[in-house]
Structure 1
Amino acid sequence: MNKKASPKRARTKQRRLSPDDRRKEFVAKATEFFSEEGFGGGTRDLARRLGVTQPLLYRYFPSKDDLIKEVYRTVYLEPFDPGWDRLLADRSRPIRDRLREFYGAYTAVIFTRKWLRIYLYSGLKGLDINRWYLSVVRDKVLTRIIKECRHEAGLPAQGKPTASELEMAWVFHSGIFYYGVRKYIYESPVLVEKEQMISEALDAFLATFERHFAAAAPAARRTPVKVVG
């Protein structure tokens, strides 16, 4: 007599996440959601995507704005390496080498479809994310670059950047940014590799900065550049 083996039910044990891990999971999936749907997507749809109820989502983030701010922090601020400022300020190295290394590392962070889509969606929506981020770039990156360019050109490095200096730095920085938009958002062919693009953009920016601002500065304001060798 053949005995029928009773099939055993496969029990899948769902791992119970800690509140901190659950919060991180929500932020990671919300980031994906916003990068695909834009910030017009509602929390009801987001909760459905997460596989949770809306009230549970609100236990972790009392409002959609709170969730957006956390996405901003994890996508934009967390990857912003504090070592970048030390790199840019290291005058033992030529400024061109410092900038090339910085922009290599910086673009490795921002040149992703998810990062760029969230950035562009937030700009179209008129959210504060872009304004917050642009102020960080201005204060932490461009102001430092201008100081180092002044020093390299034999100009006093102290003092706030002028409007003209900042605009020139924004044009340079935005050109590198737009290379990523063309490649990852428009999916348009780029004509040279990223490293070559950064290198050539740096040559143009540094030459223009020195030619324009050093030539315009009164001789009394210039400081002699030390020649090594």
Structure 2
Amino acid sequence: MKQARRARLPTPIREQQRLDPSEREAIIAREAVSFFAEHGFEGQTRELAKRLRITQPLLYRYFPSKEALIERVYQEVFVGRWKPSWEKIITDRSMPLKARLIQFYREYAEVILTYEWIRLFMFAGLKDLGLNTRYLKMLRERAFERVIEEIRIEYGRPSTDELPTTDLEVEMVWGLHAAIFYLGVRKFIYSMPLETDVNSIIDAKVTTFLGGVRFVLPAKAIA
């Protein structure tokens, strides 16, 4: 077991003589993602340095504090893996709304339903680092608000320009989103394997969502 673990260790940075500082920084950041996903944000930088087989002072030469390293992890995993193309998929009215939502959530699931993403998000929430709040604000602005607007158009309801998004509408989208996120929690937190294909689950959840969400939308305007 120890031999297998040793085989997965990254090449010591001090042996990578030809790497420039930006490459060395990227190596530290990548390993920090794996390290915090495994141990949580309580994990100590000295242990991360040991895992990288470098000194702690060298690690701090690239990231002056643990907070700076955590911020880099946030940018790498949560901001950096967000795809602007998802926003275009949601609003592309050349496709039926159901097809758009299925495509968006299938692609989104490929990114978030991973060991690193799910565990880092859960650990960040438990540690109350503020990372979750920042990410969820971005998620609401870039996805939820767009989804609600498209649903209103689909069902002939007032646009969000005419009538602001309601808390209940947001809650309904949260329900869909959380149900998909929970697939990752089951797998990477509870160690419960999924017995159905993820795409099939997403298709079913989107279908169910669209079948019921119209009942919480604002009423049609009276002519």
Shared fold (TM-score, shorter chain, > 0.5):
yes
The structural deviation recorded for 1:15 is 4.1
Aligned to 1:80: 82
1:165 corresponds to 2:169: yes
Please name the residue that 1:181 is paired with: 185
**Normalising by structure 1, what TM-score?**
0.86
Q: Which amino acid aligns with 1:51?
A: R
Q: Deviations over 1:145-191 (max 9, x none)?
A: 11100110101223342111101110111011101211232221324
Provide the identity percentage: 42
Residue 26 (structure 1) aligns with: 28
**Partner amino acid for 2:193?**
P
Task: Give the match's secondary structure for 1:187.
Answer: coil
- 2:205 pairs with 1:204: no
How many residues get paired?
A: 207
Structure 2: gaps spanning 5 or more residues:
1-14
Greater than 4 Å deviation, 4+ residue runs: none
**Is the radius of gyration larger for structure 1 or structure 2?**
1
Counterpart of 2:48, as a letter, is L
Instruction: Choose which of 102, 105, 112 in structure 1 pairs with 2:104.
Output: 102
Partners of 2:31 and 2:195 lie apart in 1 by 34
Shift of 1:16: 2.2
2:115 matched to which residue of 1?
A: 113
3-state secondary structure, aligned to 1:17:
coil
Report the Cα distance in structure 2 between the residues aligned to 1:28 and 1:204, rounded to whole angstroms.
Answer: 38
TM-score by length of 2: 0.88
1:35 is matched with which residue?
37
Match of 1:123 in 2: 125
| Letter of the structure 2 residue corresponding to residue 210 of structure 1 | R
Distance 2:205 2:28 in 1: 39
Query: What is the identity, as a one-letter code, of the residue corresponding to 1:68?
Result: I
User: Over residues 81-120 of structure 1, what are the superposed CA-to-partner deviations in whole Å (9 max), with x where a residue is unaligned?
Assistant: 0111111110111000011111111000011111111111
In the aligned structure 2, how far is the partner of 1:15 from the partner of 1:102? 42
What RMSD, in angstroms, separates the aligned Cα atoms of the two structures? 1.5
